[in-house]
């Protein structure tokens, strides 16, 4: 092993709001740009997920926790946007820190629109996105040569039968590639049912990665037909990522 000197990350303040994708949870999966933005922040507006364990180490920074609990109480998106506009308009260096990537079911663009309308400068630093990274950490490749040429990432926040659901489940079931479900602990069983009803084999392999990237990470292998029973038996709690398809058996 060679002798290498360490590499110093210097603060990168930005007057306005920097959207930082924090990755799945392990602070080491934050990007260099994201860490430098945090080191240069006056204010951090943070969610419940992401690399929250490093926030206490940041020193003299105002941390505003607007974390949402699934289906629980939360700061409204309107209030989050209002806080970002207020702090960003005040000449401060503000970081909007989210788990994963801000634009993957993260409502980041609603924040962008309000900031843009208010004339607040915006900087975007993408993050390691959980639906891609977490399967890899769990030993499941989201693609594999000869197995899939596409993959679909689906929010499971709404039940398939919900009138606001925008997913074409018939088409999704007919796709040949990997399906990754996020935020699907509650609706996973109903989604498995609808995929089977529309033609996916009940024997389709499924991998469930719970607490991806964290010390408590675990991987459960099952099938589409058994997914509901396994979620209950293993007491799967968020955050969890479900990988559906042949890659889940590799």
> Which positions are catalytic?
47, 68, 183
Query: CA-to-CA distance for 136 and 232, rounded, in angstroms?
Result: 24
| Positions 95 through 124 that interact with a second copy (CB under 8 A) | 101-110, 112, 124
188 lies in the site for a second copy, by CB under 8 A: no
Q: Which stretch binds a second copy (CB under 8 A): 65-73, 82-90, 143-151, 224-232?
A: 143-151
Query: CA-to-CA distance for 186 and 167, rounded, in angstroms?
Result: 17
Query: What letter does residue 130 receive in the DSSP assignment?
Result: H
Structure tokens at 98: 């989210």
Give the count of residues interacting with a second copy (CB under 8 A): 86
Which is closer to a second copy, CB of 176 or CB of 229?
Answer: 176
Query: CA-to-CA distance for 198 and 206, rounded, in angstroms?
Result: 17
Which is closer to a second copy, CB of 14 or CB of 236?
Answer: 14
| Positions 166 through 185 that interact with a second copy (CB under 8 A) | 166-168, 170-172, 174-177
49 lies in the site for a second copy, by CB under 8 A: no
User: Least CB distance from residue 210 to a second copy, whole Å?
Assistant: 17
| Positions 79 through 98 that interact with a second copy (CB under 8 A) | 93
Which is closer to a second copy, CB of 79 or CB of 110?
Answer: 110
> Residue 239, preceding bond cis, omega within 30 degrees?
yes
61 lies in the site for a second copy, by CB under 8 A: yes
Rounded to the nearest 5 degrees, what angle is found at the Cα of 240, between the Cα atoms of 133 and 17? 60
205 lies in the site for a second copy, by CB under 8 A: no
Choose which of 16, 27, 88, 188 interacts with a second copy (CB under 8 A): 27
Q: φ and ψ at 65, to 5 degrees? A: -90, 110
* Residue 93 · residue 15 · CB < 8 Å: yes
Given CA atoms 197, 199, 202, 208 in this order, what sign does their dihedral have? Answer: negative
């Amino acid at each position: 092993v060679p002798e290498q000197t360490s590499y110093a990350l210097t603060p990168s303040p930005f007057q306005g709001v920097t959207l930082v994708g924090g990755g799945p949870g392990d602070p080491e999966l934050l990007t260099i740009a994201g860490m430098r933005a945090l080191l240069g922040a006056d204010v951090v507006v943070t969610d419940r997920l992401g690399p929250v364990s490093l926030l206490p180490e940041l020193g003299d920074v105002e941390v505003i926790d607007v974390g949402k609990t699934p289906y629980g109480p939360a700061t409204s998106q309107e209030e989050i946007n209002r806080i970002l506009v207020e702090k960003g308009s005040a000449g401060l260096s503000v970081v909007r820190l989210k788990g994963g990537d801000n634009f993957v079911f993260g409502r980041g663009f609603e924040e962008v629109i309000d900031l843009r309308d208010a004339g607040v400068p915006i900087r975007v630093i993408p993050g390691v996105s959980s639906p891609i990274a977490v399967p890899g950490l769990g030993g499941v490749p989201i693609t594999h040569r000869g197995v899939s040429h596409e993959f679909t990432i689906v929010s499971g926040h709404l039940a398939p039968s919900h009138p606001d659901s925008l997913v074409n489940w018939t088409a999704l079931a007919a796709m040949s590639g990997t399906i990754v479900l996020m935020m699907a602990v509650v609706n996973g069983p109903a989604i498995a049912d609808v995929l089977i009803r529309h033609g996916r084999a009940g024997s389709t392999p499924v991998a469930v990665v719970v607490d991806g990237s964290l010390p408590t990470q675990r991987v459960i292998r099952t099938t589409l037909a058994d997914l509901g029973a396994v979620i209950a038996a293993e007491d799967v709690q968020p955050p969890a990522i479900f990988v559906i398809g042949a890659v889940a058996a590799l």
